[in-house]
Amino acid sequence: MRILLMSTSVGPFGSGIGGGVELTIYNLAQELMARSHQIQLVAPVGSSADTLALTTIPGEVHPFAQNESRSADIRVPARSVLNAMWQFAQTLQHSYDLILNFAYDWLPFYLTPFFDTPVAHFVSMGSLLDPIDDLIRQCAHRFPHRLGAYTQTQADTFGLGLPWQILSSGIDLNLYEYQPQAEPALAWVARIAPEKGLEDAAAAAAATGLELRILGKMQDESYWQWVQSQVPAAQLTYLGFHPTPVMQAHLGRCQGLLMTPKWIEAFGNVAIEALACGVPVISYARGAHRNHQTWQDRLFSGTRWH
């Protein structure tokens, strides 16, 4: 098939601002091309995607849905890059058999019935904003099986009984190497942002006396400063945002990965990346992690870790 992939609206593809959904888009595109489908990615200007056919579109990126209040009106930037991306998609829709949306935004769901070419959606987060939830439910009823989610746990946050395709997530195991020797350090890999709960990982590192090696996009500098002020005893080493080969080399040298989400993590790609490197995962029994292997019943008072 000829498939048009429409990227996330929050930042350029490859910048790390889109978090796990960037890895999902890249891995899906690689596998679809390996199966002889023709793939074209549309993303904001400034994007880079090595072997992928890419069209970049100028415009203003969108505010993060997770930072908006649940019942607030939808905010669209004046020169929204997403509006421009979907206008572009409309002009060339007849050259494609399928359009796949990866943005968690109002517009692509609203436009679904207005396109001749079928539009399907990979929803990358759990329920966050009422106006988008309403649209997703409308899409589900009007176009059953056009909605993909990582996990049933994530899908259920939009209400029970909707016809989701549960797609899980996958990684290219050739990119991850097992390292037999671990150094006395724990790892934390995510966008540096409040919904990821870095302060809890810092507290765990302080409690164990282990260095915490932090990898991921520096999304919220003031939050990073706050975490350091909250846990002065923790030895926190920020290693930056890196492409998979470099990230997994750091991750593989650690004794364990801490996952401390404050929201319903839709999947948590880094959990399977750590396991691919032979690194045990310590996470909350919340969100998609409940599906992952249990590692330890309780680590802190009252906090159930899995």
Residue 54 CB, nearest approach to ligand HBI (Å):
17
Residue 201 CB, nearest approach to ligand HBI (Å):
18
Q: Which residue in 83, 124, 151, 248 binds ligand HBI (CB under 6 A)?
A: 124
Q: Which residue in 62, 121, 146, 306 binds ligand HBI (CB under 6 A)?
A: 62
Total residues contacting ligand HBI by CB under 6 A comes to 16
Task: Specify whether the CB–CB gap between 250 and 242 falls below 8 A.
Answer: yes
Task: Specify whether the CB–CB gap between 123 and 26 falls below 8 A.
Answer: no
Nearest CA to 265 among 280, 279, 285? 285
CB-closest chain residue to ligand HBI = 124
> Which residue(s) pair with 3 in the sheet?
39, 98
* Nearer to ligand HBI among residue 7 and residue 204 (C-beta): 7
Nearest CA to 81 among 54, 117, 56? 56
Task: Specify whether the CB–CB gap between 16 and 216 falls below 8 A.
Answer: yes
* Nearer to ligand HBI among residue 169 and residue 248 (C-beta): 169
* Under rule CB under 6 A, residue 103 binds ligand HBI: yes
3-state secondary structure of 198: helix
DSSP letters along 16-65, please? STTTHHHHHHHHHHHHHHHTT-EEEEEEETT---TTS-EEEE-SBPPPPG
Q: Which contacts (CB < 8 Å, 24+ apart) does range 177-183 have?
A: 177/248, 177/249, 177/252, 177/277, 178/252, 178/277, 178/278, 179/249, 179/252, 179/253, 179/277, 179/278, 180/278, 181/253, 182/253, 182/254, 182/255, 182/279, 183/253, 183/254, 183/255
Residue 172, amino acid: D
Q: How far apart are alpha carbons 101 and 6 in whole angstroms?
A: 5
Residue 266 CB, nearest approach to ligand HBI (Å):
7
For the record, the structure tokens of 218 come out as: 């520096």
Binding string, 17-56, against ligand HBI, x = CB under 6 A?
-xxxx-----------------------------------
Interface region with ligand HBI, contact rule CB under 6 A, candidates 46-54, 60-68, 231-239, 282-290: 60-68
Residue 301 CB, nearest approach to ligand HBI (Å):
31
* Under rule CB under 6 A, residue 190 binds ligand HBI: no
* Under rule CB under 6 A, residue 248 binds ligand HBI: no
For the record, the structure tokens of 171 come out as: 């990684």
* Nearer to ligand HBI among residue 19 and residue 148 (C-beta): 19
User: Burial of 196 by CB count in 10 Å (0-12 exposed, 13-18 middle, 19+ buried)?
Assistant: buried
* Nearer to ligand HBI among residue 25 and residue 254 (C-beta): 25
Binding string, 206-245, against ligand HBI, x = CB under 6 A?
----------------------------------------
For the record, the structure tokens of 14 come out as: 């490859």
* Nearer to ligand HBI among residue 203 and residue 289 (C-beta): 289
Q: Which residue in 13, 26, 86, 104 binds ligand HBI (CB under 6 A)?
A: 104
Q: Which residue in 4, 5, 6, 9 binds ligand HBI (CB under 6 A)?
A: 9
* Nearer to ligand HBI among residue 47 and residue 234 (C-beta): 47
Residue 101 CB, nearest approach to ligand HBI (Å):
9
Q: Which residues bind ligand HBI (CB under 6 A)?
A: 8-10, 18-21, 62, 64-66, 103-105, 124-125
